[in-house]
Amino acid sequence: MIKTDVLIIGAGPTGLFCAHQLGIIGLTCEIVDNLDKAGGQCIELYPDKPIYDIPAIPECTGEELTNNLINQIKAFNIPIHLSERVDEVKKENDNWIVKTNAGKTFITPNVIIAGGVGSFEPRKFAPKECEKFENQSILYSIKDKKIFEGKTVCIFGGGDSALDWAVELSKNSKVNLIHRRDDFRGAQSTVDKAHELAKSGTINLYTKYQLANVNGENKLESIDIKHDDGEIKSINTDFALGFFGLIMQLGPIANWGLNIDKKTIEVDTEKFETNQKGIYAVGDICNYPGKLKLILSGFHEGALAARACFKLARPDEKYRFEFTTSSKTIKNRLGVKE
């Protein structure tokens, strides 16, 4: 069980900056995010797009903003638990017990939900039986490409991820690339490369096919794919990989007894606390009169929620407001040498 002053759900811009605000006031925190990288919408939806309304930064991309936010909290050594979804938040005496789908448990007096529009989840294969092999031989992301060496892999999808992985894995695996349309959506150079590899027989290309069935007892043995005209083909395979993009789901947050209206959580504007003591909501996921779904609003909300956490984390101490420019304590925490 991991003990912390604050548990932040969501490593989007709001969660990251909120962690900074906790760090400078001397509170510990841990961040959990369902994605495999920090940055939320900025990194997942528009890493290369320029943002023009971050105060004092005339222009930066989603990725640059994320990298700067991560750099800004480096000094605090905050653990970020990626590829984990917070599934359960339960009260136990004065603490919240928070559980992730990867089996981690946190104990904390404060939970800050910076969950944006919900957790990003992979769009999955339609056949229900796929669940049986999920995370073993049916995967929606790749953590270690070595597991595919010398194996047969069926890759589904028509975008950059499917194409990039088809090209990459074809170096050491037998690759079948399967797409429900004739045309691919990826970068032209990768589309051309995939066609070239198909022409030379390095990969097998199946277009206008979708997954119809998966077969196997304890492990995946073969899959059936169905053509638009109804023809079914069976392929022996070790793995099936689906790259169909992500969907955003409020998911488990809906079950924690919070005041939820239109997929957002109602908060007060003093502490950004929800209807549950010690649970705060900030960023896109929170709602109050006049709420603007902008990154700069999330920064402000996170700063206030962080201060509100102090009371429950340090009940015997009084929070003292200090400027970063003049506080020795804050500079020490940031590792600034004078």
Ligand X SMILES: Cc1cc2nc3c(=O)[nH]c(=O)nc-3n(C[C@H](O)[C@H](O)[C@H](O)COP(=O)(O)OP(=O)(O)OC[C@H]3O[C@@H](n4cnc5c(N)ncnc54)[C@H](O)[C@@H]3O)c2cc1C
Rounded to 10°, the helix 13-24/295-313 angle is: 40
Smallest separation, CB 161 to ligand X (Å): 17
Q: Contacting ligand X (CB under 6 A), which of 5, 238, 273, 284?
A: 284
CB 285 within 8 A of CB 86: no
Q: Is 118 in the site for ligand X (CB under 6 A)?
A: yes
Which residue carries 């999920």 as its tokens?
A: 134
Of 85, 99, 174, 180, the one binding ligand X by CB under 6 A = 85
CB of 122 within 8 A of CB of 141? yes
Q: Which residues contact 221 (CB under 8 A, 6 or more apart)?
A: 215, 236, 237
Distance CA 305, CA 21 (A): 9
* Strand partners for 156: 178, 242
Q: Could you say which residues in the range 191-220 bind ligand X, by CB under 6 A?
A: none
Stretch that binds ligand X, among 112-120, 162-170, 258-266, 320-328 (CB under 6 A): 112-120
Q: Which of 6, 25, 29, 34 binds ligand X (CB under 6 A)?
A: 34
CA distances from 125 to 147, 230, 306, 333 (A): 21, 18, 40, 47
CA angle 85-89-91, nearest 5°? Answer: 165
Q: Does 86 contact ligand X by CB under 6 A? A: yes
> Which residue number has the CB closest to ligand X?
116
Structure tokens at 42: 């900025």
Nearer to ligand X, 1 or 292 (CB): 292
State the minimum distance, in angstroms, from the CB of residue 268 to ligand X: 18
Q: Which is nearer to ligand X, 32 or 197 (CB)?
A: 32
- Interaction with ligand X in 42-71: which residues (CB under 6 A)? 42, 45-46, 51, 53
Please state, in angstroms and rounded to a whole number, the distance separating the CA atoms of residues 74 and 15: 14
> Is 6 near ligand X (CB under 6 A)?
no
Span of 172-180, 232-240, 250-258, 307-315 interacting with ligand X by CB under 6 A: 250-258
Q: Which residues bind ligand X (CB under 6 A)?
A: 9-15, 32-35, 40-42, 45-46, 51, 53, 85-86, 114-120, 251-253, 283-284, 293-296, 298
